[in-house]
Structure 1
Amino acid sequence: MGHLEYVLAGSSPPAESAPNMYDSFEEPPLDLTAHICADSLRQSAHEQMRAVGGRLRLLDELESGVIPADATTDAFATATDAEKNVCLFWTAFLKLANLLPPLIEVGADPLYYDSLGLSPLHVAAFSGSVECASYLLSCGADPNYMPRCFAPLHCAAFGNSVQVANLLIARGASVHAAVKYINCEGGLLHCAVRANSAECLKLFISHGVDVNLIEPGGTNAIHLAADLGVKQCLIILLDTPGADPNVRTRVGDRESTALHLAADGGFVECVDLLLSKGADASLKNHRGFTALHLAARSASLECVESLLRKGNADPNAMDFDKRTPLHAAIGKSDSACDIIETLISWGANVNQKDEYGFTPLHLAALDGLSACVETLIYHGADVTTRSKKGNSALNVIARKTPASLAMVTRKLDCAITLHHSQSSNREVELELDFRSILQHCYPREISYLNTFVDEGQKEVLLHPLCSAFLYIKWEKIRKYYVARLFLSFIFVLCLTLYVLTALAHNCYDGSKDMEETIQEQELCQKQSILGDLLRKNPFVIEMQWWVLAGITIFEIFRKVYGIAGYSTVKQYLMQSENIIEWFVIISVFLISYIYTNITYTWQNHVGAFAVLAGWTNLMMMIGQLPVFGTYVAMYQKVQKEFAKLLMAYSCILIGFTISFCVIFPDSSSFANPFMGFITVLTMMIGELNLDLLLNEPDGNDPPVLLEFSAQITYVLFLMFVTVVLMNLLVGIAVHDIQGLRKTAGLSKLVRQTKLISYMELALFNGYLPKCLLKILHSSALVSPQAYRVVLSVKPLNPSEKRLPRDIMMAAYDIAKMRKQYGHTISSSGSTTGAYSCFKKYESNNDSGYREYGYSGLGSIHARLDETSEHVRQLTQEVKELKKLINAQQLVIQQALVGAMDRP
């Protein structure tokens, strides 16, 4: 198959993820291994021999002892100088001190070194051969000989050769020589730490090497020991008088302490040791990370616990991006959830936002880490919180880890508990704890549930706890909406009266005895008591407008006040009721008489549209009431479907319109295309004008062909538009209405939620006086005080009226089941205790609770009881059968014994 290319369909969107908090924290690559070891020296000797074209068997013979000391001269008589030098290097490595003099006598150079700058003295120091080192020094080798990277004392440190190191120091070797290897800059202490040479480390410290000294590489020996997790060396270093565990590294602009390095590596023993020696767990590095950030990042639960317990680390410490250790703990490791729970148990803020508005829950959801998501939700993470871009955590969870939403439902389940009263009647009490709904949304108590609706998770409203809260909240806030409805009714009514009296019949102009309008007055000229009253008393119309103007000014203040409740102007303008209300408000001033003391014909049309818009908006407001919402929703649904149908079939309607205009040119109904289109719409609903097909008795008959074409066109319209199209619209409407009725319970809760959200938006936007806000809080909030979040009801008491019966019984079923199986909830896994999975057990019931499965819990409970009874009966039968078998076995045994006893 040939090479396939991608289809050109636009560019791919950027990856949806939070900025990486560790993007700029990666340290430069440091080589943390010991560069000199036995294997590397052995390999170097063989590579040198190959490079000079020498004989590798010489190295093997020296190692196996085939060449004795007295035969060295003869063995190397024909060897080249390069072979002799490599063999001298090899002999020093093997600690064959007796072979060094013969090799030097035959011409081997004691100052020879390999590609790393290692001479025979270097490898003798590494091997720990005091004899070889002494002889080479006596032959003129320099104890500070450093042709390239390492001095002999460095090699002694790599090999932990204390005796050779003492010898070299005694011969004048400097204890302050620095390694010159790339990415491995450091001194003797660094070399000893890399090789975990504890004895040499003690020796060098005893000779005055400063353990706090920052080497050219930017670190000291304490940093290196912590980074490598070398506990023994770290103990020696920290036990040195004057050792400072809080010295910072100087690797470029990066500054870290030894505690940072140990925590990042997950070395808990080193972390404990550093803390015991005074390491400060609150210090931050160049990015603002504490050691706790790095321990959480490295998924080291032990280090996290140690820093919290022994180092008193702050679990809410923020880096320069305002991220806490809880943000850092989000990851794919097996211990991530344990670390999250540990941090939260020590007081970590589970809802802390970073510089970009992301909480730990956002990060876990963006990475698709369902276990972390559920753990955070279990411990109180707010799923409705939003980032600076407006993305809620719930939105991300629903898209990337939808199974984790079960934890939200389980949290709601756990807020419903069953108790028995302490009184003598022992009546059952049901407690509903609204903390899970209220704890993140004061004073806009409905914002938690409103977010679920906005993010398409409206089914959660069917949970008994949510339904109960909505019922109580509506009882609290209903009076404010009824008051607004009443004021809007008065406003529209005043507007209607003014338009009818002042504009519709020109009564105001008639009261001024204006000759040019006198013939247009109908109501006011006819024998009407109201007309005479208005003509003789124009101040009545004027008073109507001033009253209307006063109410309108109040409406203007209300609308301006309401703008503050929207986050953007676009969001405000997207609400159709805002556009309609502003149009009505502006129309009040457009239709006024005060400018010229007369009214004009164009004001009549503006007033007519204003009245229509005002009453339409009032209908929409009434439709928001839960009682009438279903009917208005049906109307709006059919309206939308008709608009779609009209757009889809507009071409055929235009076609019939033009055809009728051509066929019936003399008809006033089709005098022009616009009037013809209106006539066609009227004919759609069955108002058919058969006079179009009938000829006048005294008129001239049209040609037969034209008469026949008119009849055909009319019949086609009758069949395809009046019959087919209108029946299609009726069928669609009936189908949609049936669908609305099936989801009426949920739709009612959704409208109730949106309405309460709108009212809270208007009441609590923060611009009212504090005294008025205090009154609103006490009268409109379910929980004006933080400690009043529990509602106790008696579900089995017929006198209990504080909640509807269906809500109470659905909550009772959940509480009863939880009590039977224990009040447990798991923070991990998407299925444990997920009562929300019981859906549609009784599909024949129209209740929304049964659709969601909450009332079905009762039937499930009954089935479980029935199954338990069957199991108990089977167990009893098995016990009886076992007894019967035992009795039969006993009888058989006795019969066998009796038969054997007989002679």
Structure 2
Amino acid sequence: MLAEYLPDVLRNELDKCIGYNPEDSSQLQIDFKVLLQIEGDLNQSNKRTSGEDEIPPRETELLQSVLKAKDGYDAILTHPVVEAFLHFKWLVVRKLFFLLRSVYFVLLLLYTILMFRIYSNTCIDDYFFGGVGDFCPITDLETIGALILFGAVGFIIISEFYKVYADFSGYFSNGSTGYLWWILCIGWAGTLIPAVGPPPLYYHYPVAAVSLIFSWLMTLSQLGRIPWFATHVGLLVKVVQDFIRLLFTFLIVLIAFTVGFCILLPDNSSFNNGSFALFKAFMMMKGDIDYEGILDKKTNNFLSFPEYSIPAHLIYTTFVIVVTMVLTGLLIGLAVKDIEEALRKAKVNHSIRLIKEIGIFESIIRSKVLTCWTSKWLCKWYSIERTKAIKAYQLTFSPIHPDDTTLPESIKTSFLPYYDNGVCQHQNHRRRLKM
């Protein structure tokens, strides 16, 4: 219940975290203690950093609570204070993130090589089509590679179970992609069985093809967690989602034209079967209009009669205009429509995924599996205070000086509404200056 009101309350508190540097009025001073749930004044040092035996605070706990609200968290995640905080948090954990992504890429390359070795070889014809040869034998190196991948699958399953245990409700909401890992594990485990067991069956081959495609597409999900690629991956996902919705809308139109082609072109191999005819119409919708193949009188005897030829040409022309040309225009419009809103949503989704993954990591390093000393050391090592720009959980920078590289230019620009030639635009900031 409290989580529903947290975004509204936190938004006002985040505004109060932005003030002027007492020593230089041209600089802003950002206090991150509100996000870290640490009590203390803006101009006082954080007393919690003085104790050597004290564990630093769990830095994303408040933001994870914000994500539990049904709405309102967008304004929090796009607030400049939160953007600055996540930027420095990313600087601290990025080496670990890059390491994990590199491990996944290496495993993906190993899986791809094994799939080609097992399912794409010269022994398939002899094995499946009555030849005298046996299926290509699996080498010891291939078996070792398969066992390594089985171990990776087991590790992924354990980590996903831990994520479900840590946050069951959030695992299936707020842009979570945890279910994709389960699909990947099932595909890998099913297609790797022939490397350690009996030869593959017929269904293993299409499963292996789909699993390979899915595994490589999962690389986009990994790139989407890196700030440099997050917005581009988000835009790609948004365009694909819009296209799928548009395709369902156009499905009725496709069925209508497909039925017409099936009636007027019964001799055409593409339209003498209803299911394949709909697939052919879909390919024509994407630009493969195949004029000569569809309206060729040599392969379509019915087109020799004007009663068939004239309506067929009219329907074909209408299809090209209404479906192919209109759809192309709609797709271009969807790609550029509300581009700012799409970028904003992509940024919010990236922040959500980053907060969740960092939260999982913070819960792991605080678990009872690690010793107390190790947990303290890891918490301090991955704290934002380890960055050079932050002292006592406070950041001082100038949003108007181009030489100040403390924050990226996009985040610095978001602080400009709080800064206007030395006079803060927010009322509580003016009152702070008068004091």
Given that 1:477 and 1:756 are in contact with CA atoms closer than 8 Å, whether structure 2 keeps it comes out as no
Question: Which one of 411, 423, 433 corresponds to residue 817 of structure 1?
Answer: 423
Q: Which one has more relative contact order, counting CA pairs under 8 Å at least 6 apart? A: 2
Given that 1:562 and 1:762 are in contact with CA atoms closer than 8 Å, whether structure 2 keeps it comes out as no
Q: How far does residue 647 in structure 1 lie from its aligned partner after superposition?
A: 1.6
Measured in 1, the distance between the counterparts of 2:130 and 2:377 equals: 54
Q: What is the one-letter code of the residue matched to 1:438? A: L
Q: How far does residue 636 in structure 1 lie from its aligned partner after superposition?
A: 1.3
Is residue 446 of structure 1 aligned with residue 45 of structure 2? no
Question: Which one of 356, 360, 375 corresponds to residue 757 of structure 1?
Answer: 356
Given that 2:262 and 2:277 are in contact with CA atoms closer than 8 Å, whether structure 1 keeps it comes out as yes
Q: TM-score, normalised by structure 2?
A: 0.78
Equivalent position SS for 2:167 = coil
Equivalent position SS for 1:694 = coil
Given that 1:417 and 1:815 are in contact with CA atoms closer than 8 Å, whether structure 2 keeps it comes out as no
Is residue 680 of structure 1 aligned with residue 292 of structure 2? no
Matches within 5 A, 1:113-262: none
In the alignment, what sits opposite 1:646? 247
Measured in 1, the distance between the counterparts of 2:38 and 2:396 equals: 25
Q: What is the one-letter code of the residue matched to 1:823? A: R
Measured in 2, the distance between the counterparts of 1:663 and 1:444 equals: 69
Q: How far does residue 724 in structure 1 lie from its aligned partner after superposition?
A: 1.8
Is residue 581 of structure 1 aligned with residue 181 of structure 2? yes
Is residue 793 of structure 1 aligned with residue 393 of structure 2? no
Given that 2:36 and 2:59 are in contact with CA atoms closer than 8 Å, whether structure 1 keeps it comes out as yes
Q: How far does residue 737 in structure 1 lie from its aligned partner after superposition?
A: 3.3
Structure 1 alignment gaps of length 5 or more: 1-385, 399-403, 422-426, 525-534, 827-903
Measured in 1, the distance between the counterparts of 2:333 and 2:397 equals: 46
Measured in 2, the distance between the counterparts of 1:549 and 1:722 equals: 46
Q: 1:581 to 1:407 in 2, by over 3 A?
A: closer
Given that 2:397 and 2:404 are in contact with CA atoms closer than 8 Å, whether structure 1 keeps it comes out as yes
Q: How far does residue 463 in structure 1 lie from its aligned partner after superposition?
A: 4.2
Given that 1:419 and 1:428 are in contact with CA atoms closer than 8 Å, whether structure 2 keeps it comes out as no
Measured in 1, the distance between the counterparts of 2:63 and 2:421 equals: 21
Question: Which one of 395, 399, 407 corresponds to residue 12 of structure 2?
Answer: 407
Is residue 732 of structure 1 aligned with residue 330 of structure 2? no
Q: What is the one-letter code of the residue matched to 2:383? A: L
Is residue 435 of structure 1 aligned with residue 33 of structure 2? yes
Q: How far does residue 629 in structure 1 lie from its aligned partner after superposition?
A: 1.5
Q: 1:440 to 1:494 in 2, by over 3 A?
A: farther
Structure 2 alignment gaps of length 5 or more: 40-55
Measured in 2, the distance between the counterparts of 1:689 and 1:683 equals: 7
In the alignment, what sits opposite 1:265? none
Q: 1:790 to 1:587 in 2, by over 3 A?
A: closer
In the alignment, what sits opposite 1:803? 407
Given that 1:498 and 1:544 are in contact with CA atoms closer than 8 Å, whether structure 2 keeps it comes out as yes
Q: How far does residue 680 in structure 1 lie from its aligned partner after superposition?
A: 0.8
In the alignment, what sits opposite 1:590? 190
Given that 2:93 and 2:382 are in contact with CA atoms closer than 8 Å, whether structure 1 keeps it comes out as yes
Q: How far does residue 435 in structure 1 lie from its aligned partner after superposition?
A: 0.9
Given that 2:29 and 2:395 are in contact with CA atoms closer than 8 Å, whether structure 1 keeps it comes out as yes
Q: How far does residue 768 in structure 1 lie from its aligned partner after superposition?
A: 4.1
In the alignment, what sits opposite 1:498? 114
Q: How far does residue 699 in structure 1 lie from its aligned partner after superposition?
A: 6.5
Given that 1:587 and 1:606 are in contact with CA atoms closer than 8 Å, whether structure 2 keeps it comes out as yes
Question: Which one of 446, 456, 460 corresponds to residue 72 of structure 2?
Answer: 456
Measured in 2, the distance between the counterparts of 1:815 and 1:517 equals: 84
Q: Which has the higher helix share?
A: 2
Q: How far does residue 394 in structure 1 lie from its aligned partner after superposition?
A: 2.4
Equivalent position SS for 2:423 = helix
Given that 2:230 and 2:350 are in contact with CA atoms closer than 8 Å, whether structure 1 keeps it comes out as yes
Measured in 2, the distance between the counterparts of 1:642 and 1:815 equals: 46
Q: How far does residue 451 in structure 1 lie from its aligned partner after superposition?
A: 4.8
Question: Which one of 397, 415, 419 corresponds to residue 22 of structure 2?
Answer: 419
Q: 1:666 to 1:779 in 2, by over 3 A?
A: farther
Question: Which one of 204, 207, 228 corresponds to residue 627 of structure 1?
Answer: 228
Given that 2:107 and 2:149 are in contact with CA atoms closer than 8 Å, whether structure 1 keeps it comes out as yes
Question: Which one of 166, 191, 200 corresponds to residue 599 of structure 1?
Answer: 200
Q: What is the one-letter code of the residue matched to 1:717? A: F
Equivalent position SS for 1:601 = coil
In the alignment, what sits opposite 1:467? 83
Measured in 2, the distance between the counterparts of 1:472 and 1:718 equals: 52
Q: How far does residue 438 in structure 1 lie from its aligned partner after superposition?
A: 0.7
In the alignment, what sits opposite 1:836? none
Given that 1:499 and 1:607 are in contact with CA atoms closer than 8 Å, whether structure 2 keeps it comes out as yes
In the alignment, what sits opposite 2:50? none
In the alignment, what sits opposite 1:769? 370
Q: How far does residue 793 in structure 1 lie from its aligned partner after superposition?
A: 3.4
Q: How far does residue 547 in structure 1 lie from its aligned partner after superposition?
A: 2.5
Given that 1:434 and 1:789 are in contact with CA atoms closer than 8 Å, whether structure 2 keeps it comes out as no
Given that 2:10 and 2:76 are in contact with CA atoms closer than 8 Å, whether structure 1 keeps it comes out as no
Q: 1:689 to 1:738 in 2, by over 3 A?
A: farther
Larger deviation, residues 695-704 vs 464-473: 695-704
- Note the alpha carbon deviations across 1:28-76, whole angstroms, 9 max, x for none: xxxxxxxxxxxxxxxxxxxxxxxxxxxxxxxxxxxxxxxxxxxxxxxxx
Measured in 2, the distance between the counterparts of 1:736 and 1:807 equals: 21
Given that 1:661 and 1:670 are in contact with CA atoms closer than 8 Å, whether structure 2 keeps it comes out as yes
Q: How far does residue 717 in structure 1 lie from its aligned partner after superposition?
A: 1.0
Equivalent position SS for 1:817 = coil
Q: 1:704 to 1:463 in 2, by over 3 A?
A: closer
Question: Which one of 309, 320, 325 corresponds to residue 718 of structure 1?
Answer: 320
Is residue 572 of structure 1 aligned with residue 171 of structure 2? yes
Q: How far does residue 602 in structure 1 lie from its aligned partner after superposition?
A: 0.8
Given that 1:476 and 1:782 are in contact with CA atoms closer than 8 Å, whether structure 2 keeps it comes out as yes
Q: TM-score, normalised by structure 1?
A: 0.40
Q: How far does residue 593 in structure 1 lie from its aligned partner after superposition?
A: 1.2
Measured in 2, the distance between the counterparts of 1:406 and 1:759 equals: 22
Q: What is the one-letter code of the residue matched to 1:644? A: R
Measured in 1, the distance between the counterparts of 2:434 and 2:408 equals: 28
Measured in 2, the distance between the counterparts of 1:516 and 1:772 equals: 60
Q: 1:448 to 1:657 in 2, by over 3 A?
A: same
How many corresponding residue pairs? 402
Given that 1:506 and 1:520 are in contact with CA atoms closer than 8 Å, whether structure 2 keeps it comes out as no
Measured in 2, the distance between the counterparts of 1:794 and 1:484 equals: 32
Q: 1:756 to 1:394 in 2, by over 3 A?
A: closer
